[in-house]
Amino acid sequence: MRIATWNVNSVKARLPNVLGWLERTSPDVVLFQEIKCETASFPKAEFEKLGYHCAVVGQKSYNGVALLSKQPAEDVLEHLPGDPEDVQGRYVEATVSGVRVASIYLPNGNPVGTEKYPYKLRWMERLRAHAAGLLWTEQPFVLGGDYNVIPAVEDVYDPQAWETDALFRPETRAQFRALLNLGLTEAFRALHPDEIKAYTFWDYQAGRWPRDQGIRIDHFLLSPQAADRLVACDIDRGPRGEEKASDHTPVVLELAD
C-alpha cells in the first residue's frame, strides 16, 4: 500500500499539478491538506476519473483536508475528538484495506503571543489522546499530514532563525515527542536517520526554494502494527519545482501488504 500526503495549498489553484502528479505516481491513498474550499465545491469528479473515492472535510477559503483512496473508505471520522466546539476543517480519518488512515492539518500556531498558539498545543494534546485510543484497538494506523512541527535541528535550514517560531518552539517539539512516546514511529526518520536537507516545505518568499532553504513539517506517524510493514518513506521534491507549485511537496509512504 502506497500512501501519499501533500499540503496542496488550494486544490483548485493547483488542480493541474495535482492531477498530473497522481497520473504519474498513482498512490493507493492520498492525503491532502489546505484544500481551501468547502466540501461541496471540492473537485471530486476529477479525482473519481482517476479511480479515487473521496472523503472530504472542507472549509471556505481556509484549511480543509481530504482522504482519497482507490478502495472504498470505511467508518469515516470527520473531526478530531475532544472539542465539539472546534469546527475547523483539519482532520479526516477512515479505514482503507484494513488500515486506519488520517489526513491531518495541524494548526500553525503563529503568532505565538495570540490564542493561536495555545490552540495548537491543545490540538496536539487531543491528537495524542486520540492516538492513544487507536493504539488500544491494535489496528494498524497511519497519521499523515502537515503537522506544522519541525522535529529537530536537522529539519530546518537555520535553526536559530526559527527558535521562537510556533513550529519549532520547545513546547511544540515536546508535544510531538509525547506523540512518538506513545509508541509511534516517525516513518521518514526511521528509514533516513542521518539525511540532511530533507525538506518538505519552502516558503514562497526570499527565494527559499532556489536556495534550498526549507523545513520538514510533513510527517507520517505509524502504529507498531503499521511500522512492522514499513518499506519506504520518501520525499518527492519534483512538484515543488513546477509552475504554480504548492509551497509543500508530497511525501510517499509504502507499507507491505
CB 120 within 8 A of CB 162: no
- Sign of CA pseudo-dihedral 85, 10, 234, 120: negative
Q: What is the pLDDT of residue 188?
A: 98
According to the annotation, is 17 in a ligand binding site?
Answer: no
Q: pLDDT band for position 256 (50/70/90)? A: very high
For the chain, give percent helix, strand, coil, nearest 5: 30, 25, 45
Give the residue carrying C-alpha cell 472539542: 83
DSSP H helices in 138-223: 159-162, 170-180, 187-191
How do strand 141-146 and strand 218-222 relate by DSSP bridges?
A: antiparallel
**pLDDT digits over 82-97, tens only?**
999 999 999 999 999 9
Nearest to 54 by CA among 238, 64, 209: 64
* Residues with Cβ within 8 Å of residue 155, at least 6 apart in sequence: 198, 199, 215, 216, 217
According to the annotation, is 148 in a ligand binding site?
Answer: yes
According to the annotation, is 247 in a ligand binding site?
Answer: yes
DSSP H helices in the chain: 15-25, 44-48, 116-137, 159-162, 170-180, 187-191, 224-227
**pLDDT digits over 208-253, tens only?**
999 999 999 999 999 999 999 999 999 999 999 999 999 999 999 9
Give mean pLDDT, residues 2-12: 98
Cα–Cα distance measured from residue 19 to residue 85, given in angstroms and rounded to the nearest whole number = 34
Q: Helix, strand or coil for residue 139?
A: coil
Residue percentage of the chain with pLDDT more than 90: 100
Residue type, 125: E
Q: What is the pLDDT of residue 145?
A: 98
Q: What is the pLDDT of residue 162?
A: 98
CA angle 237, 239, 243 (to 5 degrees): 130
Residue type, 22: L
According to the annotation, is 243 in a ligand binding site?
Answer: no
Residues serving a catalytic function are 105, 146, 248
Give the max Cα distance, the chain: 46
Nearest to 213 by CA among 162, 164, 143, 151: 162
According to the annotation, is 34 in a ligand binding site?
Answer: yes
**pLDDT digits over 54-80, tens only?**
999 999 999 999 999 999 999 999 999
CATH number of 2-255: 3.60.10.10
CA 171 to chain centre: 20
Give the residue extent of every domain in the chain.
2-255
Q: What is the pLDDT of residue 168?
A: 98
Q: What is the pLDDT of residue 48?
A: 98
**pLDDT digits over 135-169, tens only?**
999 999 999 999 999 999 999 999 999 999 999 99
According to the annotation, is 74 in a ligand binding site?
Answer: no
**pLDDT digits over 110-143, tens only?**
999 999 999 999 999 999 999 999 999 999 999 9
What is the grid cell recorded at 106?
495541524
Exposure letters 110-149 (e unless 16+ CB within 10 A, then b) = beeeeeebebbbebbebbbebbeebbeeeebbbbbbbbbb
